[in-house]
Structure formats: structure tokens, C-alpha cells
Amino acid sequence: MRAVRRLRDALHQADFVVLSTEPGPIEMRYADLEIPARYGILQTVGDTVGPGGLLRALRSIEVYDQFAQLIAEYCPRAWVINYTNPMTLCTAALQTGAADLKVFGCCHAVFETQAQLAGLVGKWFEVPGPPRHEIKVDVTGLNHFTWITAASWRGHDLLRILRDEIAMPGFFRSRANEARAAVRAEHWFKSPGLVGYDFFRRFGALGAAPDRHLVEFVPWYLTSEAELHRWGVVATPYAWRRRRVAAADFPVAHYAARGAGPE
């Protein structure tokens, strides 16, 4: 493995291209998150929908159009895998920029839901939790509004068993205390998965993305921070994101100062 200064050097005759970027410096997240918050718009992530998702898309689409042109020139037969959010729009921008590219978007969210179901299999069947690839799922939706409409393990219908599980008394009890503890510990990415299960209860399909993403697509979880915490979900604050980048082992400013870009 080696690093290169110019994207075209990395792309030359590549078989696979994996794109995972942060569009713009982290300070741009201020407009994504803090300004909407002044007007009562609560965002848990702000990278896919809502004001944050829209602004990230505006920062990304032009860059992804340039990526598409360069990939078409230097490795037109490569498989292009995009992980950058908003994933759906960035992937669409690649295909719009060069229609013949072999492009798909990918996200770890479905894999995590498979792993979650594998853990439940271990409990339900009193066996060691199987590897996630043994959980067979039917998936639909758009990132990060993803749904599992069928799930099985060795022929067992897991959603049928899950329906009985979530019907147990107290399953949907408030997780506000857990959420407040997560805020104190700065554990921004953990949640009990209640929102995905609530989707299943309401709509008959399991939410297959982290709760912090799912809540941004519907209005009733984000009416207040207290309501969000009731589901065990916390918002990732802009201030923490900025501190995280500032404390990173590699200084992002170093690359910005070099003028690194698609060229």
C-alpha cells in the first residue's frame, strides 16, 4: 500500500475505487447543525437528510462529479464503491457524472442489524451467536432509511419471533436514564435499537440503520431532546466533532494546506 499526492495516480488502471470522504473541513458542520438548532431543528447526525444532509450534498456533488470524470478517464472498468454520506446522492452524482461507470453505494448499517439479529438468535435458540452472514435478510429502502422485510436463520423466521419479543411488557420502557448516561460519557453512537423495533411494531418492517439515523426521517422522535432520550438516542454535538478532529493523530489542516483535491 502506498499514498500518492494526485488522485489520478491512485486511479490509474485500478480495478476497484473506494470513496469515503468528509466534504469540506469539519467547521462546515457548524452550518449543518448549529444554525438549524437555533430554529428548533434537532438533528442527531445531520449527514443524510434535513438541513445537514442538504448542505453536505451541496458540498459533495460537485466533487463527486469530478471523481466520476477522472475515474472514467483513468479506470473506466473499475467497480466504484461509495461510502460517503449523503450516500444516495453522492452515488447518484457519480452515475450522473459518468453514466457507464459501475457504481454502488454501501453502508455498514445493514451489517450491524444482521449482527444484532445474530445476537438474538443466540438468546432465542440457546446457541453461540452465529456469524452475521448466516442471517439471511431481504432489504429495501434508501440509506439511511433502510428496512428489513424478511429475516431468517437456518429456515427459522426471525421476524415472527421478534414480533413476540417486542410485545413483551416493558420492552418499550423509557431509556432516558441510559441516554443521559451516554451524554455524560460522550458515547454518542450507542443506542438500544428501540426505534428500529418501533418501526417494526408500527409498519411491519424492521428499521435496519442505527436509531440516530432513522429518527431523522420521521417527525415524532425529534420533537424535543427529552423525547429523543426516551428512546435511548442522543445527538452527536458539533463541539465534540470539532474536538475529535483537532485531537486526531493526523492533522487534517496539513492536507488542506497542501491543497489536496481531486486533481
| Of 195, 199, 179, the residue nearest 187 (C-alpha) | 179
Our CA angle for 211, 29, 35, nearest 5°, is 90
What is the per-residue pLDDT across 9-20, written as a single tens digit (0 to 9) for each? 999 999 999 999
Q: What pLDDT shows up at residue 190?
A: 87
CB 48 within 8 A of CB 60: no
238/224 Cα distance (integer angstroms)? 18
Q: What pLDDT shows up at residue 260?
A: 43
Provide mean pLDDT across the span 183-209: 95
- Alpha-helical regions (H) of 126-168: 158-166
What is the per-residue pLDDT across 115-170, written as a single tens digit (0 to 9) for each? 999 999 999 999 999 999 999 999 999 999 999 999 999 999 999 999 999 999 99
Domains annotated for the chain, with CATH where assigned, are 7-106+241-257 (3.40.50.720), 109-232 (no CATH)
Q: What pLDDT shows up at residue 138?
A: 97
Lookup: cell for 43: 438533528
Residues serving a catalytic function are: 108
Q: 161-184 in b/e burial notation, b at 16+ Cβ within 10 A?
A: bbeeeeeeeeeeeebbebbeebee
Report the mean per-residue pLDDT for the chain. 92
pLDDT confidence bin for 263, thresholds 50/70/90:
very low
Percent of the chain with pLDDT over 90: 85
- Statement: residue 255 has pLDDT above 70: no
What is the per-residue pLDDT across 2-46, written as a single tens digit (0 to 9) for each? 889 999 999 999 999 999 998 888 999 999 999 999 999 999 999
Q: Is the peptide bond before 86 cis (omega within 30 degrees of 0)?
A: yes
